[in-house]
């Protein structure tokens, strides 16, 4: 069991490191996302570079980077007592998330902000908590007309929802760590939001 989980955690990081946005943009649009718009390799910048099709494809791939390894970790750790399943699942989620932020294939640089991969992880870990965060995203993005505001609202809501619904300090800690990392990766967006210069949806 333990060796298998260790392999899954390593696998989670390696699949999380795959820069799907960069690969898809180069393959179908012959552009380097790092040289366009915000320079981010995630779905929002992919949409800027190649339209909604490229953006949605990147989003789906980045979500699956979290979903697949966490599903595997959850399956192979079934039956563990004393909260070990939650430990393995949390570590796997964090590993996949860190892969997206610090991809080994890009020398640990120019990773994404982690929102989509976090969505994939918590779709397995706590789907109702994720649904609450998505509602927070929709409300904040709708009111502000800015994707970044929605992402920040979702990140702030996630750990609270996970703790409330799952009653697990391990899963709460996982959600809190991921949420804080997402907020930190949005530090430039936060500055622009306060300055009133953050691009609006459809005009970025």
Q: What is the per-residue pLDDT across 125-175, written as a single tens digit (0 to 9) for each? A: 999 999 999 999 999 999 999 989 999 999 999 999 999 999 999 999 999
Whether 190 and 152 have beta carbons less than 8 Å apart is answered as: yes
Q: Does 200 fall in a domain?
A: no
* pTM tops 0.75, yes or no: yes
Nearest to 21 by CA among 57, 51, 48, 71: 57
The per-residue b/e assignment along 8-37, b for 16 or more CB within 10 angstroms, e otherwise, is bbebbbbbbbbbbbbebbeeeeebebbebe
Q: Does 203 fall in a domain?
A: no
Q: Does 124 fall in a domain?
A: yes
Which domain range does residue 59 map to?
2-195
Q: Does 109 fall in a domain?
A: yes
Q: Does 155 fall in a domain?
A: yes
Res 8 pLDDT > 60: yes
State how many domains the chain has: 1
Q: Does 100 fall in a domain?
A: yes
């Amino acid at each position: 069991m333990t060796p298998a989980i260790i392999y899954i955690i390593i696998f989670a990081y390696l699949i999380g490191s795959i820069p799907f946005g960069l690969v898809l943009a180069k393959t179908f649009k012959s552009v380097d996302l790092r040289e366009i718009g915000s320079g981010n390799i995630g779905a929002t910048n992919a949409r800027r570079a190649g339209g909604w099709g490229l953006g949605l494809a990147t989003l789906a791939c980045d979500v699956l980077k979290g979903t697949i390894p966490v599903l595997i970790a959850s399956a192979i750790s079934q039956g563990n007592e004393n909260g070990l399943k939650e430990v393995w699942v949390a570590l796997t989620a964090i590993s996949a998330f860190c892969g997206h932020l610090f991809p080994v294939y890009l020398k640990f640089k120019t990773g994404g902000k982690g929102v989509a991969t976090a969505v994939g992880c918590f779709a397995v870990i706590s789907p109702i908590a994720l649904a609450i965060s998505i509602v927070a995203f929709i409300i904040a993005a709708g009111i502000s007309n800015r994707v970044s505001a929605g992402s920040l609202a979702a990140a702030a809501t996630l750990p609270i929802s996970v703790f409330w619904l799952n009653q697990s300090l391990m899963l709460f800690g996982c959600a809190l760590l991921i949420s804080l990392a997402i907020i930190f990766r949005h530090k430039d967006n936060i500055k622009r939001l306060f300055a009133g210069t953050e691009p609006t949806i459809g005009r970025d």
